[in-house]
Structure 1
């Protein structure tokens, strides 16, 4: 019998200053902690943001079951609720930021956006400067009153996040208002509303307008965008919980287990059970 291995949720904890909503360290320091019994290669689902800037070395990091190859200039941003994993034999170096969702100023740490991208030479220099400033102030302020430290560090973090967002292109014109409203609605209602036309109607758009806006923004139609979000959550629940596949389907708006199994297999090529088993054997 194959033993199931599910993905644990990890809560934010700053071992230096418990009340501070950000920790600034390095990938090397994180590996040192692994020597104290922390298994970095085990998949986990953090309840906080994990942001790394690779300055040296190579490796692979997996986010939501997608492996990304890392090299100098790579950025990895794992957002709360995503499943992430440090792959064995990865030896990357660079700054690592761990911060609570409520720590940065509003509108600077979107729950959406790419998990990985590559910086240009100029962007690498600008990001490294911002990250170094943040690290220096963090080292100097960790013994200051938490309120004072938090305010300054939050603004420095916001500057770095905005710089990285500009470099990733997530603030470009492709993310039009129509798509942004649709994306927010999908995030809120994907477990109960599975038809793109229903979103168009609720948002006050014609199906054609919504299709054009979504295609322009992310290169796919609204139905595919919606289906990908549903399947992603199904994968997370299959990996992270002990819920039966039928219960997961019901949670995602499929009261008939057969319909959920067909939906999942059509879009992933495997059954829910086979997907869960593959994680146990990994």
Structure 2
């Protein structure tokens, strides 16, 4: 079985900000500065968030096994838990902004997190946004502030990211209406439970009971935050994990079914085909 490495946030940063780092892409993927804990050209899972900004040329970048063509001015948010890989044949020019969930919770207002939440809902479809003016403004401001290294630096960096992500959310043409905090907290709880227990249960009512909320309320929360039902969210997550296993391991379809919590491989076959219009074996070949 070929395992996907999970990349932890590197605390040996020069910015001296817990949970934040700005990287120059050319330096990151060069032979001299290639990370020693993993190969960036092979699939690896993130334990933090990335904003990938392309400032010149065109590249092909893989996120959750889908290839995206990115060009000058394009930006893509890659979320914690996603699997991505750099393209060995592309010449990357631009920046990577790395930040952890802890940094976001501490230095970005909860109302802002609620508004930009859709940017991180990768199961709804990975999006790229062409945003050259905002990109240049952000990078220029970050570089200027990082040279100061003052006691207020993390707060300033959080403010700059907040402004940028809010503008990016507007460019994404998704709803940026204020979301009640209790909905966001509930959804985040639900999402964590699904990530932890999806192989044990795919029943939305079970998760609602564990959270001590009604099934109707959980559906309402999911529709507010991610514009889908609780059951559809669970199914999207299970299918994504199935794809990750099929593409990155040598487990058979039968073994994959059991790993995902299906009692019978035939049930997994029907489930996978229902949600993808493709068999697991067919998807693996693709």
Q: Same fold (TM over 0.5)?
A: yes
- Please state how far the C-alpha of 1:49 moved relative to its aligned partner: 0.9
Aligned to 2:100: 100
How far 1:247 sits from its partner (Å)? 6.1
Matched residue, 1:113:
121
What is the distance in 2 between the residues matched to 1:79 and 1:200?
Answer: 25
Residue 134 of structure 2 corresponds to 126
Task: Give 2:165's aligned residue.
Answer: 161
5+ residue gaps, structure 2, are none
Evaluate the alpha carbon distance shift between residue 99 and residue 197 of structure 1 in structure 2; reply closer, same or farther with a 3 A threshold.
closer
Deviation at 1:79, TM superposition (A): 0.7
CA contact under 8 A between 1:182 and 1:199: conserved in structure 2? no
Cα deviation per residue 1:97-139 (whole Å; 9 max; x = unaligned)?
01111112344364833543222xxx53134212320122123
Aligned to 2:154: 150
Counting matched residue pairs gives 262
Q: How far has the Cα of 1:150 moved from its partner? A: 2.2
* Residue aligning to 2:22: 24
SS at match of 1:118: strand
Equivalent residue for 1:236?
244
Contact 1:24 1:138 in 2 (8 A): no
Shift of 1:187: 5.9
Structure 1 residues 13 and 199, CA gap change in structure 2 (3 angstroms): closer
TM-score by length of 1: 0.72
Give the structure-2-normalised TM-score. 0.71
Q: CA deviation at 1:164?
A: 1.6
Q: 1:261 to 1:80 in 2, by over 3 A?
A: same
Could you say which residue in structure 1 is the equivalent of 2:45?
45
Unaligned runs of 5+ in 1: none
Residues 79-108 of structure 1 deviation map (CA, whole Å, 9 limit, x = unaligned): 111001112222232222011111123443
Over the aligned positions, Cα root-mean-square deviation in angstroms equals 4.0
Q: Does structure 1 retain, via aligned residues, the 8 Å contact 2:49–2:78?
A: yes
